[in-house]
Every structure is written in C-alpha cells, then in structure tokens.
Structure 1
Amino acid sequence: MPVTTFGYQQQLRRELRIRDLIAYGLIFMVVIAPFGIFGSVYQASAGMIALAYVVGAATMILTASSYGVMVEKYPVAGSVYGYAGRAIAPAVGFLTGWAILLDYVCIPLLLSLVAGASMNSIVPGVPIAAWVIIFVVANTVINVFGIRTTKLLNWLFLAAELVVLLIFLGFGLAAIADGKGHGFSLDPFYNGTTFSWSLILGAVSIGMLSYLGFDALGLLAEDAADGARTVRRAMYASLLLVAALFIAQTWVAALLVPDPAGLIANGDPAGSAFYDAAEVAGGPWLGTLTALATALAWGVANNMVAQVATSRLLMAMARDRQLPAFLARVSVSRSVPTNAILATAVISLGIGVWMAGRDDGITLMSAMVNFGAMIAFIVLHVCVIWDWVKNGRQGGVLRNVVIPVLGAGVLIAVILHAQLLAQKVGLIWLGIGALVLIFLLATGRRPALPEVPAGDDDTPTNRAVTEHV
C-alpha cells in the first residue's frame, strides 16, 4: 500500500531490502547489548539473568505480532504514533507519539553516554562529555550523507560485533569446560531458592532496554523496498535472532562471574561485571576487547541507526503539523530528513553533555527510555483490538485480540515492577504531553491526519516540505 493512500508524498528513497532491515534491527538492538548492562540485570534477577532475557523475548514477540498487524494496515513512517492516530483518534496518536518521543529522543544521547563512560574507562584522560560530543557529531555526519551510507556501515559494524561475540562465547565455553567459573549449570535460567515473578519482572524492566530497536523498523516503512511485508518479516527475524544471542551470552557470562553473591548484594557501579567475566574466560585482553566493542557498538553502530529512526518519527509528526514544520523538510539530493537529524543531534549534545556530569545520568536516561517504550507498546496492543472492532472484526481473534491482551498485560506487569524513578519520570513526561495537547486544542491546532490522496494541491502534506540542502 503506497503512502499516497494516506495523503503523503513518497519522499524517502526505498533502498532497504529485508536483509538490510534485519541488519538495522540487529544493530539497533546491539547483538552485544547485554555487555553494557549485564551487572544491573544480573543483580535485579538474583542471578537468573538468562530467564529475564527469555521472558523479555516472549514479551517482545507478542509486541512484534501487533506491530505486524498495524504495519500492514498503515505502512507509514510514524510507527505507533501513526497507528494510534488512525486506529483510535489523532489526539491519542499525539499522546502516543509524545510517549514514544521519550524513548527515541533519549536513545541517541543514552547511547552516547554509555559509550562515553566505556571509553573513559579505557582512556581516562578524555572526559565522558568529550566522548559524547565525538560520538554525536560523527553519527550526524554519517546520517546526513543518506541512507545508502548507513546501510553499508550497518553491515560492517554488525560483522564486527558478531566476531567479538563469537570470540567471547568460544573462550567462555572452553573456560567452563576446563573448570573455570562455576561449571555448566541451568541456574541462570531458574533457581528455585530465589525465584519469584516479582523479581524476574523487575529484571525484565531493565533488560528490556536490550530489545528496544526491533520496533524502530516500523519507522522505516517508507524506506523499505517492499513496504509493510518486508518490515513485518524483518521484525520477526531480527527479534528471534537477537533473543537467541542475548540468552546465550548472558548464560555463559553468568557462569563465569567471579563473585556472584557480591554482584547481587552490591550491584555493578563501575559497569564492569561482563568484562570481569570475559577476563575469567580469556584473560585481560578479552576483558578489554569486550569493553571496547561495547563502546563502539553503543556509541557508533547503535547510535547511528537510533538517529535514523528518531529523525523519521520527528518528520512524521511534523508533516502532520504536530511538531514544527521545519522538521518535516527532506533533502532532495540525499533523500533524508536533514533538519530532523540535526535536531536530534542538538538535543543529544545539549542534554548528553549535561548528563555526563551527573552520577545518575545513565540511570535516569535508561528509566526514561524504557518507560516511554513500554507505554507506546501498550497503546500499540490497544490499537490492534480497537481497529479490529472498528473495521468489522476482520481477521483472526488470536492475532487481533488474544495476543494483544496478553502482550499488554505482561507490559503493565513489567511497568508496575519497574524502578520508582522510571515511573515518576514517565508520568511527568506524559503530563507535559497532556498540557501540550491542551495548548494545541486551545489554539485551534487540533491534531489531525490526512486522509485524502496525495495529488490534491490543497493537501497540507503536499505543500512544500522539501528543499535542496
């Protein structure tokens, strides 16, 4: 279904095939994402970190099903924002877009912060703030050159991450077989003496950060060569592949943790728990390699595609007149939303440099990202059911009712067991969004989405929104 059906011009170049979208998904989720937050999830799960990632994967598979339903019906770049606006009401779409903005706008600066902290541990002479600037500027330059450039770099970074992961798994399994660590055990999947669903759901609320990214493929619906069908298949494929890799690496690392009881009791303030486990497996060189890989994966590879997705969300909301119009302008020569990319970079630089000086900067950013994503996912499930009822209950009950109800239920349970900080920040952000919506309504700018074919000269979205850059 072409975007002209929804009143938009096809301005983005359809360059991405399914293999490219899978690469985007794997890069966005970061196949070595658990390296950076291993200690936090291990502590929260009382050592049952592999189980936390299994539950997280199941939750995301339910969510991917609802994404698949909606991207088939509304294959436009706004993702959940567009789905809620069309399936329920434009005002609901605005609030959903506002919620997911908390996720997408904060992701690039969170990635820069984590990468900066990792590089600072390797090169202490360079402050975290300086690394944040380096990562943000580098990714902005790459993305302004266009989708073809990021597509090529995606494959290079993905190959490098997979090589590092395979090295760790190989040395890790060999070390356990040689008697290092705690021997082969299924305790990271289940420990009857400490297990409780409350414990695991709390760990999932942290570990879910690793899975965020498959959903960003919905924002690339207008970049995909075969539209919705390609996006849907890529979502499932990337999610299942990365889930298997997450579970494998966390299981092996959990069996190599030098001091499990100490990690559970004291946490991982230095963020080095995974690198300590890698050092047990192969020596100091492997610990350094995994730390460097984390910095580059979070700071460059993941940051690069995060900026791509964020710019598409800003563009989608701006062309619907729910954000400033200049964010909707697309470069004719490069076929990218240049202004939205630059706006994302400015936000990442401003807040990222400020947060680099705070001890709780990464924790606060993580809380904001996770809460925004989970709220948006819950609305997504509601959209599937709402749209199914509104359009005469066409389609199966399993895919349109049962799975969305299960998915929303699990996500609500995860939010209720999340850190109090995440709940507070998320509710404050939603409150600000409600005030913005009231302002729009009071000034006669009621949220609305185009429903006429793109050829009508009076269509708002057909007015000049492109310029040569």
Structure 2
Amino acid sequence: MSLNRFGYQQQLRRELRIRDLTAYGLVFMVVIAPFGIFGSVFQASGGMIALAYVVGAAAMIVTASSYGVMVGKYPVAGSVYGYAGRAVSPAVGFLTGWAVLLDYVCIPLLLSLVAGASMTSIVPSVPVWAWVIIFVVANTGMNVFGIKTTKLLNWIFLAAELVVLLIFLGYGLTALAQGKGHGFDLDPFYNGTSFTWSLVLGGVSIGMLSYLGFDALGLLAEDAADGARTVRRAMYLSLLVVAALFVAQTWVAALLVPDPDALIADGDPAGSAFYDAAEVAGGPWLATLTALATALAWGVANNMVAQVATSRLLMAMSRDRQLPAFLSRVSPARSVPTNAVLTTAAISLGVGVWMASREDGITLMSAMVNFGAMIAFIVLHLCVIWDWARTGRTGGVGRNVVVPVLGVAILLAVIWHANLLAQRVGLIWLGLGVLVLILLTATGRGPALPEAPAPAGDTTTSRKAVTENV
C-alpha cells in the first residue's frame, strides 16, 4: 500500500524481509531476556514462572492479532500512534503516542541500566554510569551507519544469544537427568497448593517486559520490503518462537534454583537467581557466561534495535507536527532519521546516568516501560473495534471485536495486579500528556495528521503532503 495514500512520501529504504524483521523481533525481545529478571518473576508468580510466561504469550498473541489488523489498514511508521490518530482522531493519536513514548524512550534507558549493573557485577571497578555511557555511545554509532549495518549486526547477536541459550539448556537438562536440582516436575507450570490467578498475573505483570518488542515491528512498516504483510507475519513468528524459548529456559532454571522457598520469600535483590541456577547446572563458568550474555544482549543487541524503533516513533510524530520538526529529517545518504537517533541517545545518556545513581532506578524504569506498553496495547484493541464499526463493519466479528475485547480484559487484569509504582508513574505521565494536549489545542497547534495529495487536476481541495512537515 503506497504511503501517498496517507500524505507521506517513501523516504526509508525497504530493506527488511520477513527473516530480517523476525530477527529484529527476537533480538528486541531478547531470547535470553528471562536471565535478567528471572528472580523477580519467580517470586511474583510464587514459583509458577513457566505458567506466567505462557499467559503472557497468550496476551501478546491476542495483541498481535490487533496489530495485524491495523498495520494492514495503516502501514505507517508510527505504529499504534498512527493507528489511533487515523482510526479515531488525531487527539487520541497524540495521547496514545504520548503513552508509547513512555515505553519506547524508557526502554533504551532500562536496557543500559540493566546491562550496566550486570557488567559492574563482573567488573566491579567500572561503575554502572560508565557502562551506561559506553552502551549508549556504541549503539548510537552502529545505528547512524544505516539499516543495513543494523540488520547484519542483528543476525550476529541473535546467533550468539541462541548459542548461549542452547548451552544452558543442554547443561541444565543433563544436570536434572543426573539428579541435580529438584528433578523433573511441572510445578513451574502449576502448583496446586499455591495457585491463584492473582499470583500468576502478578508474575505476568513483570514477565511481560520480556515480550515487549514484537510490537516495535509495526514501527518498521516503512522499512519492510513487502509492507504490512511482512510485518504481520514477522510479529506472529517472532512471538511464537520466543515464547517457546522463554518457557523452556524458565522451566529448566526453576527446577535448578538452589532454594526456591527463600527466593519466593526474600526476592532476588542481587539479580543473580538465574546465574545461581546456571552454576548448579554447569559450575561457575556457566554462571559467568550467562551473566555476560545478559549484559551484552540487553546493553548492545536489544538496545540497538530499541533505539531504531524509538527513532521511528519520534520521526512519525515529528512529521505530523506533534514533536519538533528536526526529528523528522532523514539522512539522504544513509536513509536514517539521524536527528531522532541522536535525540534518543541524548535522553538515554542524561537520564540513564542520573538513574544509575538511584537505588530504585531499574525498578522505576521497568514500571514506566510496562505501564506505557499496556496502555498502548489497550488503545490498540479499542481502535480495532472503533475502526471496524466506523468503516461499515467489514471483516469478521471474531478478529475485529471478540479478540480485541479479550485482549483488553487480559491487559486490564495485568495492570490491576501490577506494581503500585507502575500505576502511579503511568497515570502521572498520562496526566502530563493531557495537559500538553490542552496547551497545544489552546495555542492553535492541536494535533493534525497529513492527508493524501489531491488527484491531478483537482482544484477543489488543497491537501498538504508530509514534505511540508519535514
């Protein structure tokens, strides 16, 4: 579908095929993501961590269905921001974009902080803030070279993560077969003595962080070789693959945790629960390997693609005159929104170094990322229903009504059982967005989206193309 229909010109190279987008999704979600937050999810779910990841996968697959519907109708780089603006109204689109900003702008911050903390545990002489600077500068350098460079590095990082994961699973399953750990059982999926949905959803509210990233593929719709069709298929494929890997690794690790009762009771303040399980499986070398892999996966691989996605969101909102115009400028030589990439890096450096000095920095960033994503997903589902009703109810009721309603119900349940800090920070951010919207409207700069140019010879309508915004 041509971007001219939406008032935009194609400026980004359509370099990415389904295999490249799937790799983006896998790297963004980080196939070894549970390594870094294993202890927190294990505690919150009462040890039923594998079940928490299964429920989380179901919620995300339902959400992917709605993304598939909307990206087919509006294959533009702004993802859910663009869907809400065009399906409902520019004002709703602005508020949705504001919520998404909370998610995407904070993701690179969170990734750098987690990676920095992991590296400091390996190299104590280098503080967390220094690692934050190293990771941000390195990723910015790679991204400004263009999408081709990022695409190649994606495959390299993905291969390395999969190798580490296979090593852990191989040693872990062998150790369990040899009688180490707690033996093979299904308690990580269901424990009848402690199961409650409240407990499981509490684990999902944290574990959901691992799945965030498949939705970023919608931000690359203008980079995709076959547009919406490629993005839609890559979303499903990356989700199914990563869900299977998450469940497998958390199930094995849960059976190898040295003292599960203590982990549930006391939590994992050092963030070492997974590495302790890896040490039971293969010894200290495997614990160090998994810790190093976590740092590099979060700090380099995931951070790199997070910066790509965030820059596309800033570009999309900028060219619609909802953010400063300089953010929408694309480098002709490299086909990269360089200003948006550099702005993302500057925010990550400034706020990241500050958060590195706070004891609750990672917790606060996690809360902001999760809440922003949940709000955006809920709006996405509502947009599917609204657009279906607005455009004459074309399409099946199941995919356009039943599935979105189910998605909203699941996400509201997850938010209800989320950390109180996440709820407070998210509501404050949304409140600020409402104030900004009121200010823009009062000053005559209310949100508006460009329209498609009028057909040749049509003098009755004057429409503005995106080139006037860039």
Tell me the TM-score normalised to structure 1 length: 0.98
1:158 paired to 2:158: yes
Give the match for residue 25 of structure 2: 25
**Runs (5+) with no aligned partner, structure 1:** none
**Offset at residue 446 of structure 1 (A):** 1.4
1:314 paired to 2:314: yes
Name the CA distance, whole Å, in 1 between partners of 2:408 and 2:327. 32
1:352 paired to 2:352: yes
Map residues 150-229 of structure 1 onto 2, 5 A cutoff: 150-229=150-229
SS in 2 for 1:450: coil
Give the match for residue 463 of structure 1: 468
Give the match for residue 133 of structure 1: 133
Give the match for residue 90 of structure 1: 90
Name the CA distance, whole Å, in 1 between partners of 2:453 and 2:363. 45
2:116·2:132 contact (CA, 8 Å) conserved in 1?
Answer: yes
**Offset at residue 56 of structure 1 (A):** 0.1
Give the match for residue 414 of structure 2: 414
Amino acid at match of 1:463: E
1:34·1:210 contact (CA, 8 Å) conserved in 2?
Answer: yes
Name the CA distance, whole Å, in 1 between partners of 2:452 and 2:113. 43
Q: What CA deviation, in whole Å up to 9, does each residue of 1:41-89 have, x standing for no partner?
A: 0000010000000000000000000000000000000000000000011
SS in 2 for 1:15: coil
Name the CA distance, whole Å, in 2 between partners of 1:315 and 1:410. 31
Map residues 315-330 of structure 1 onto 2, 5 A cutoff: 315-330=315-330
**Offset at residue 463 of structure 1 (A):** 2.2
SS in 2 for 1:358: coil
Q: What CA deviation, in whole Å up to 9, does each residue of 1:296-328 have, x standing for no partner?
A: 000000000000000000000000000000000
SS in 1 for 2:256: coil
2:29·2:213 contact (CA, 8 Å) conserved in 1?
Answer: yes
**Offset at residue 461 of structure 1 (A):** 1.4
SS in 2 for 1:56: helix
Name the CA distance, whole Å, in 1 between partners of 2:110 and 2:326. 25
Q: What CA deviation, in whole Å up to 9, does each residue of 1:411-448 have, x standing for no partner?
A: 00100110000000000000000000001100101111
1:117·1:128 contact (CA, 8 Å) conserved in 2?
Answer: yes
Amino acid at match of 2:123: V
SS in 2 for 1:405: helix
Name the CA distance, whole Å, in 1 between partners of 2:75 and 2:427. 29
- The percent of aligned pairs where both chains have the same amino acid is 83
Give the match for residue 101 of structure 2: 101
1:7·1:454 contact (CA, 8 Å) conserved in 2?
Answer: no
SS in 1 for 2:226: coil
Q: What CA deviation, in whole Å up to 9, does each residue of 1:229-261 have, x standing for no partner?
A: 000000000000000000000000000000101
Map residues 283-294 of structure 1 onto 2, 5 A cutoff: 283-294=283-294
SS in 1 for 2:15: coil
SS in 2 for 1:393: coil
1:135·1:299 contact (CA, 8 Å) conserved in 2?
Answer: yes
SS in 2 for 1:255: helix
Name the CA distance, whole Å, in 1 between partners of 2:453 and 2:84. 20
**Offset at residue 464 of structure 1 (A):** 6.7
Name the CA distance, whole Å, in 1 between partners of 2:468 and 2:331. 15
Name the CA distance, whole Å, in 2 between partners of 1:402 and 1:464. 38
1:28·1:306 contact (CA, 8 Å) conserved in 2?
Answer: yes
**Runs (5+) with no aligned partner, structure 2:** 457-461
* CA distance 1:270–1:455, change in 2 (3 Å): farther
1:9·1:454 contact (CA, 8 Å) conserved in 2?
Answer: no
1:245 paired to 2:240: no
Amino acid at match of 1:297: A
**Offset at residue 453 of structure 1 (A):** 2.8
SS in 2 for 1:91: helix
**Offset at residue 3 of structure 1 (A):** 1.1
Amino acid at match of 1:107: I
Give the match for residue 443 of structure 1: 443
**Offset at residue 460 of structure 1 (A):** 4.9
Name the CA distance, whole Å, in 2 between partners of 1:4 and 1:374. 31
Amino acid at match of 1:157: F
Tell me the TM-score normalised to structure 2 length: 0.98
Map residues 360-375 of structure 1 onto 2, 5 A cutoff: 360-375=360-375
Give the match for residue 304 of structure 2: 304
Amino acid at match of 2:467: N
**Offset at residue 450 of structure 1 (A):** 1.3
Give the match for residue 9 of structure 1: 9
Give the match for residue 424 of structure 1: 424
1:40 paired to 2:40: yes
SS in 1 for 2:95: helix
SS in 2 for 1:186: coil
Give the match for residue 60 of structure 1: 60
**Offset at residue 4 of structure 1 (A):** 1.2
SS in 2 for 1:270: coil
